[in-house]
Amino acid sequence: IYDNTTIGENCIIHAGVIIGSDGFGFFPNKNTYNKIPQTGNVIINDDVEIGANTTIDKGTIGSTIIKKGVKLDNLIHVAHNVTIGKNTVIAAQTGIAGSTKIGNNCMIGGQVGIVGHIEIANNVKIAAQSGVSKSILKEGQIVQGSPAFEIKKYNKAYIKFKNNTN
């Protein structure tokens, strides 16, 4: 746990967790990359559980925020300046890129990839192995696929795809 990290009450942090490490911030300079200073912090609210070997990067400027009641499985990466809303649960091997805002009460399956600088509304469910490449602004929406889209449309498309492979 790096300096300038705030952790609330009743949190469980499992083995191998890293909180407050530098985010992936570099800018190109001729034939090399220069590091962008990471001066922010991490704020973890009450009743959060963080699974083994999860990494939560500090904000580049500002904070990475994990709100009350969030449950993170093992092997998750939370990048710089991400906010995860109250009571959201996220399964293993999910990666959340920088500056993404995730709403309250979301459920995110394992091996999900979420691009940076997007918003995910409250009560959204993202099926395992989905790739979220744009904001999900409709509350309660359920998505699947890569790129992720509305699950009913995904299921119809999958049936057509499967029937064409025989």
What token pair was written down for 45? 């609210």
Tell which residue, 81, 77, 74, has the closest CA to residue 96.
77
Tell which residue, 61, 67, 71, 68, has the closest CA to residue 83.
67
List 101's β-bridge partners, or say none.
Answer: 83, 119
What token pair was written down for 131? 């790739």
Helical (H) or strand (E) element with 165: none
Confirm whether 117 is a catalytic residue: no
Catalytic residue among 14, 77, 80, 117: 80
Q: Where are the alpha helices (DSSP H) in 13-65?
A: none
**Which residues, 6+ apart, have CB-to-CB distance to 4 below 8 Å?**
20, 41, 42, 58
Hey, which residues are catalytic here?
A: 80
